[in-house]
Structure 1
Amino acid sequence: MTDLRWEEVREFFDPDLMGALPDLLVPNATIEDWQTVLDLLRTRGWQWQYSQGDTVLPLPIAAEVLARPPEAETVSLRVWPVPGVLAIFRLISETEIDFDIDLRELQGQEGVDTLCDFLRAIGSELGKPVLMTSEGGSQEQPVLGFDPIVSKVVLFGDPAPD
């Protein structure tokens, strides 16, 4: 199922305009939402790697990770929803699920479909929006995202005219 067409969103997938690593987020999240995302990794069979600093570790429970002291080593969760496409989750905030995905890995209709499938999987499981903004952009100005009301990825921003 195709939520968006490459021709409609090409500019939102341009690393020069959006930044190579646009920001994706689930606002108003909870620890339970984080745990749902961690569980989703296993049920979907996505490849993943959890690390603390430079040390690769087994995937802990969300409450454990989010209760770490501020001075603790940085943690990251690298997820490959399909081979060759990497999303990096930052387990920093209990109230926001934050991750990056490399637009250079998501070119053409196949890339759009991969991103839509990934956002739809997360958003459907949580019943919450999953928003994409430009790299370093404001979460109040998403360009696209999963809309749980219509159960698909939709455009929020207007691409510049050709």
Structure 2
Amino acid sequence: MAGLSWQDHAGWLRDPGRDGWLPGGGIVDTTVGDWQAVLDLVVERGWERTFVVGCFEVPLPRAEEVLSWPQGGAARPVLSVRPGPEVGVVFRFGRAERIDFDVDVEQLRGQEGLDVLCGFLAAVGRRLGRSVPTDVGGGGPFLGYDLETDRVRVR
């Protein structure tokens, strides 16, 4: 996705001062249908993925099934997605009303990876028809898809 330059933003994208915090996103006021739309997007795009419950990798079920499982415990379902070799995203299933995810930028090294990450955020936002905010646990800038401008911007 054109617009953000690795050269201009590499410093804070690879900021060691984050103390291990992964940038995370939380899309609020969602439904089971929104979760399913994200799962469908992952499958349609052919992004590498693993779905793990506890310590077992299992086939990706429908959102309504996952979200009906009891909350808590060690068996919390997690979907890991790799939209590109330098970008990893982990979705944590909790409740239908919020889609939570973390972005692993540890291997993000250049413009190609930044473009993949921006493209991923935009694809999710466009599919859901809403903005996709992200932040870093300890504060500070990160990227977010803005539906109004149809762009990923530094937040």
TM-score interval w.r.t. the shorter chain? Answer: 0.7 to 0.9
Question: Structure 2 CA distance, aligned partners of 1:102 and 1:15?
Answer: 13
Q: 1:45 Cα deviation (Å)?
A: 0.8
Question: What is the TM-score with the length of structure 1 in the denominator?
Answer: 0.84
**Cross-structure match for 1:160:** none
Match of 1:91 among 76, 88, 93: 93
Provide, for residues 24-74 of structure 1, a one-character-per-residue CA deviation record: whole Å limited to 9, x for no partner.
222222211110000001111111111110111111111111111124511
User: Are the aligned partners of 1:13 and 1:107 in contact in 2 as well (CA < 8 Å)?
Assistant: no
Q: Is the 8 A contact 1:89 1:99 kept in 2?
A: yes
The residue number in structure 1 matching 2:42 is: 41
TM-score under structure 2 length normalisation:
0.87
Task: State whether residues 52 and 79 of structure 2, in contact with CA within 8 Å, keep that contact through their aligned partners in structure 1.
Answer: yes
Question: Where does structure 1 lack aligned partners over 5 or more consecutive residues?
Answer: 157-162
**Equivalence for 1:62:** 63
- Offset of residue 20 of structure 1: 4.8
CA contact (8 A) 2:66 2:93 kept: yes
**Partner Cα distance (2:45, 2:71) in 1:** 31
> Could you tell me how far apart the structure 2 residues matched to 1:9 and 1:31 are?
35
Structure 2: distance between partners of 1:91 and 1:99: 9
Instruction: Say if 1:15 and 1:100 are closer, same or farther in 2 by CA, change over 3 A.
Output: farther
* Displacement of 1:114: 1.4
SS in 2 for 1:59: coil
In the TM superposition, residue 142 of structure 1 has moved relative to its aligned partner by 6.1
Superposed displacement of residue 107, structure 1: 2.3
What does 1:7-156 correspond to in 2, within 5 Å?
7-18=7-18, 19-71=20-72, 73-135=75-137, 137=139, 143-156=142-155
- Closer/same/farther in 2, CA of residues 43 and 143 from structure 1, 3 Å limit: same
- How big is the shift at 1:147? 0.5
Note the C-alpha offset of 1:22.
Answer: 1.2
Aligned to 1:26, the other structure's residue is in SS state strand
RMSD: 1.9
Mean alpha-carbon deviation: is it higher for 63-72 or for 41-50?
63-72
Q: Distance in 1 between matches of 2:135 and 2:72?
A: 28
Rate the CA distance shift 1:93–1:136 in 2: closer, same or farther, 3 A.
farther
Between the aligned residues of both structures, percent identity stands at 39
